[in-house]
Amino acid sequence: MNLRPRREAGELESEILAALWASSQPMTPGDVLKELGGSLAYTTVMTTLARLFEKGLVARRRSGRSYSYSPSVREADLAARRFRTMLDRGHDRDAVLQGFVGELSPDEERALRALLSDEDRRREEQP
């Protein structure tokens, strides 16, 4: 009987990507499994890495009889892409944005304001 709660959709992919981003070199499925604590089946990690490769989120190269993997997208870029997807799926875009902004710390809010101001200036300078 498995007493461990089931992972949320995409959680394992996120954990694997986090391990790859934290590594300074490509990782084999065995390396990833070890980094995640070894509680998963090797084939689960291997299958998830293959799916990440198919989605274009990781690159792979031959490493013996297996592959080694490295991220092909930056963490910040993927987070921005996911936020954009959530925004596009929302029926009430203003509510989604309000929910996001409402969760920001004062420092994050200042950073967002500065980024928006910089973007406004950049757009005004374009012909």
* pTM score, whole prediction: 0.74
- Per-domain residue ranges of the chain: 11-71, 90-125
- Residue 101: is it exposed, middle or buried by C-beta count within 10 angstroms (0-12/13-18/19+)? exposed
Give the separation between CA 110 and CA 17, rounded to whole angstroms: 29
The tens digit of pLDDT for each residue in 22-70 reads 999 999 999 999 999 978 999 999 999 999 999 999 999 998 888 999 9
- Options 3.40.50.920, 1.10.10.10, 3.20.20.10, 3.30.70.270; CATH of 11-71: 1.10.10.10
